[in-house]
Chain A
Amino acid sequence: MVIYMGKNMSRKAQSIFTLSNLIKLVAIIAIYLVIMAVMEGDFATRHFKSLLVPIGINIILAVSLNITTGFLGELSLGHAGFMAIGAYSGALFTIFAENHTGLPAPLAFLLGIIIGGIMAAIFGVVIGIPVLRLKGDYLAIVTLAFGEIVRAIINFLGVTGGAKGLNGIPRYTNYKWTYAMVIITIILLSNFVKSRHGRVISSIRDNAIASESIGIKVSNYKIMAFVIAAFFAGVAGVLFGSNLSILKPGNFDYNKSIEILVIVVLGGMGSIKGSVIAAIVLTLLPEFLRGASNYRMLLYALALIIIMLFNSSEIRQRLEDSGKLPRLPKLKARVK
């Protein structure tokens, strides 16, 4: 299963040196310079600087969850489980590398990230298989069960430190690594959803039976979506662990999966840009409302309900028709 990145195989191979790509490259570098100035300089508070990494991590998590929930159209409530697997694998590796090998830190970290992503991706296959035949409600519950099973097992195993948590993770994460990972994630996933495989996955969301009937192996693509989402969740997990230097199973519970889901829903399912913006907003907002964190849960819950109701309501129909709001990707209609 080869994934073509950035190239549209149904047409003649196009050069990647287009004008729009060049503009994007300049923008990426420009943003990096701005971030570097902010971080190294004295303009911003320590508080703000410390938020850059969590923002990046949340962006990666939200964009990867969007692949399953927004593009494949299946609710995955176990995303935190993938993050946990990646986090612990990467952390164990970096701890091992630091204490037992002479690997230079950047190399060890890079390997840690890759290992974390791959381990999570492996479990993406593990969960992909049971959910092959499932849809909708059942699939969501199985992903939820998966997340809880992962957490219970991490709690149980000795090598992960159990409930006490995994301590002493070398703190490699900094804004440079995070920014790099965020950009890589966004580029890879944007290209993926525009590629042939990505469009197949979207078509499954729109009408699975129709897709099946034209010869698409739905199950393969379902697994693909889960694996890719899991990989990036794992990467985010490794960044998370190396930022806090301690990992506890409690960090990756059902609530965490819901938090990421709220970001995806808020940003718009099926919209990567939306996920990015929503991730930034929802990471910064709680910091300003820190005294009102009791209300935060309430606000998230209301946001979920209201957005869902609004999306399906007649008001939205009218707004869409008059062109004021972009049409949402049509999610899979209910089968009677």
Chain B
Amino acid sequence: MKKTFKKVVSLGLLGALVVASLAGCGTKNTGAGDGTFLIGGLGPLTGAAASYGISVKQGAEVAIEEINAAGGVKVGDTSLQLKLQFEDDEADGDTASAAYNTLMDKGIQALLGTVTSGAGLAIADQTNADGILQITPSGSAKDLTKNPNAFRLCFTDPLQGETMAKYAVETLGLKKVALLYNNSDDYSTGVAEAFESKVKELGGEVVAKEAFVTDAVDFTTQLTSIKGTDAQIIFAPVYYQDAAYITTQASELGMTLPFIGSDGWDGVLDKVVDKKVLEGAVFLSPFLATDPDTAVQSFVTKYKEKYNATPDQFAADGYDTVYVIKAALEKAGKTDSKDLIKAMTEIEVKGLTGTVTFDASGEPNKGAKFVEIKNGEYASKTVE
């Protein structure tokens, strides 16, 4: 009898849990008709990649506040206020899938996300099936835009690789380059591959190609190998934490080769102990908080006031994406996803990260900004 009692209790608990989850049911608001336009946000708010998701969310919130204060978005002959519903996807495909469904339950009309590529690829087909406009502010995997409903705001990996290849071989005239990249990360691998082929195309030579895996902290082996070659410059398309380790260890090994990087380097100054190891490093970044441009400074000020922190490129990406959605709404004059998607190819937006237009494949057309580290600070660099 005791056994059946336990069975009944556990089944009862289970039933209660299931009913509770069902209870949040049936309510499918369409979000329309009440003067607002609901933007869904998807990105990591917890976990190792949390800083990216939080930045995007906060940047977007600044933009939304700004737009609503100025009277909202003019769609057709009404003005709509923007609203943001941001869900945590933990940068994981499974969680992103569930979170996306939660957003759809809440009746979102456009999707700002995902922030990371892995999560984005997992829901790409679902968003396409729903036909909803999706713009990823920062996801860099090529396949994120394979469907007609998806667009991208940030650089693609191939673009960065090619730009830096041109910089190294043509601008600096250095033909022998070393490549150090993370081959368990699609961002790093994507940029590295594009870089390598462009270097060869331009007549240069990749004399060393060293790889590491995510979470590696010890790069002395790879750097020592590079040291033994005749490389003149090292390209490391990695995230800022890895960049910090790499440059620090290179300096300890007595290496003096110049470093170039990709947009993942943004934030590297906070991660090194001795800023001298970064002196002269050049990387690409869509956004620089010290840029004297008025729009940038106004954003930086508002962001600092609201969140007590300096915005990074992810925040700028979030901000710009909201403005892109606004432009699409204004151009389309309607809130239907079909019309918004069509309008995307017809708009031009002057954002914090550059002036951008979109082509039919979902890719952005915009220029790349160079950043150089001079005297322990980020400095904008013009390269012809």
A residues touching B (Cβ–Cβ < 8 Å)?
38, 42-51, 54, 152, 155, 162-165, 167-168, 171, 243-246, 248-251, 273, 277, 280-281, 284-285, 287-288, 290-291, 293-294, 323-326
Contacts and interface: CB of A to CB of B under 8 A. Distances in A.
Contact of A323 (B2, B18, B186, B214): B2
Contacts of A326: 2-3, 6
A266 B189 CA distance: 40
A292 to B, nearest CB: 8
B47 A293 contact: yes
Given A44-B22, A277-B14, A294-B46, A163 B186 contact: yes
A288 B21 contact: yes
Contact of A167 (B10, B45, B105, B143): B143
B122 A162 contact: no
Nearest to A51: B98
Contacts of A155: 183-184, 213
Contacts of A324: 2
A164 B17 CA distance: 37
A325 B88 CA distance: 39
Contacts of B63: none
A280 B14 contact: yes
A209 B182 CA distance: 48
A281 to B, nearest CB: 6
A44 B98 contact: no
A291 B90 CA distance: 10
A163 B87 contact: no
A45 B98 contact: no
B101 A49 contact: yes
A244 B17 contact: no
Contacts, number: 118
B101 A47 contact: yes
Given A244-B94, A326-B6, A165 B125 contact: no
A74 to B, nearest CB: 27
A280 B18 CA distance: 9
B26 A42 contact: yes
Given A45-B102, A46-B104, A162 B93 contact: no
A48 B22 contact: yes
Nearest to A249: B184
B30 to A, nearest CB: 14
A47 B121 contact: no
A246 B101 contact: no
Contacts of A250: 118, 184, 214
B106 to A, nearest CB: 9
Given A163-B184, A277-B10, A47 B102 contact: yes
A284 B17 contact: yes
Contacts of B214: 163, 250
Where chain A touches its partner, the secondary structure class is helix
A249 B183 CA distance: 12
Given A43-B26, A54-B94, A163 B105 contact: no
B284 interface: no
A280 B17 contact: yes
Contact of B122 (A49, A246, A291): A246
20 contacts: A38-B22, A45-B26, A45-B28, A45-B101, A47-B102, A155-B183, A163-B185, A163-B214, A164-B186, A164-B189, A171-B125, A246-B93, A246-B118, A250-B118, A250-B184, A250-B214, A277-B10, A280-B14, A281-B14, A294-B46
A287 B98 contact: yes
B97 interface: yes
A27 to B, nearest CB: 12
A171 B126 CA distance: 10
B71 to A, nearest CB: 32
Contacts of B172: none
B383 interface: no
Interface in B170-193: 182-186, 189-190
A324 to B, nearest CB: 7
Contacts of B24: 45, 47-48
Residue in A45, A50, A165, A251 with the greatest tally of chain B CB atoms within 10 Å: A45
Nearest to B190: A164
Top 3 closest pairs, chain A to chain B, by CB: A164-B186, A163-B184, A46-B101
Contacts of B133: none
B273 interface: no
Interface string B246-286: 00000000000000000000000000000000000000000
Contacts of B95: 290
Given A45-B27, A51-B21, 17 more contacts: A46-B102, A155-B213, A163-B184, A163-B189, A163-B214, A165-B118, A244-B94, A246-B93, A246-B121, A277-B14, A281-B14, A288-B21, A291-B45, A293-B90, A323-B2, A324-B2, A325-B6
B141 interface: yes
Interface string B113-149: 0000010011011000000000000000101000000
B97 A244 contact: yes
Given A163-B184, A167-B143, A277-B14, A251 B93 contact: yes
B125 A245 contact: yes
Nearest to B184: A163
Interface string B219-236: 000000000000000000
A264 B95 CA distance: 21
A162 B184 contact: yes
A290 B184 contact: no
Contacts of A294: 46-47
A187 to B, nearest CB: 19
A37 to B, nearest CB: 11
B316 interface: no
B307 to A, nearest CB: 18
Given A45-B105, A50-B98, A284-B21, A290 B183 contact: no
B164 interface: no
B371 interface: no
B99 interface: yes
Interface in B71-111: 87-88, 90, 92-95, 97-99, 101-102, 104-105
A114 to B, nearest CB: 24
A240 B332 CA distance: 39
A44 B25 contact: yes
Nearest to B97: A50
B101 A244 contact: no
B309 to A, nearest CB: 19
